[in-house]
Amino acid sequence: QITLKESGPTLVKPTQTLTLTCTFSGFSLTTSGVGVGWIRQPPGEALEWLALIYWDDDRRYSPSLRSRLTITKDTSKNQVVLTMTNMDPVDTATYYCAQSKYYAFPFDNWGQGTLVTVSS
Partner 1 sequence: DIQMTQSPSSLSASVGDRVTITCRASQGISNYLAWYQQKPGKVPNLLIRAASTLQSGVPSRFSGSGSGTDFTLTISSLQPEDVATYYCQNYNSARFTFGPGTKVDLK
Which residues contact partner 1 (rule: CB under 8 A)?
37, 39, 46-49, 52, 60, 62-63, 96, 100, 103-108, 110-113
Q: Which burial class, exposed, middle or buried, applies to 19 when counting CB atoms under 10 A from its CB (0-12, 13-18, 19+)?
A: middle
Return the DSSP state at 108. E
Cβ 85 to partner 1 shortest distance, Å: 21
| Torsion on CA atoms 50, 46, 106, 19, rounded to nearest 10 | 30
Cβ 91 to partner 1 shortest distance, Å: 17
Cβ 45 to partner 1 shortest distance, Å: 9
Cβ 83 to partner 1 shortest distance, Å: 19
Is the distance from CB of 80 to CB of 97 less than 8 angstroms? yes
Residue among 14 and 26 whose Cβ is closer to partner 1:
26
**Strand 69-74 and strand 48-54: pairing?**
unpaired
Residue among 11 and 47 whose Cβ is closer to partner 1:
47
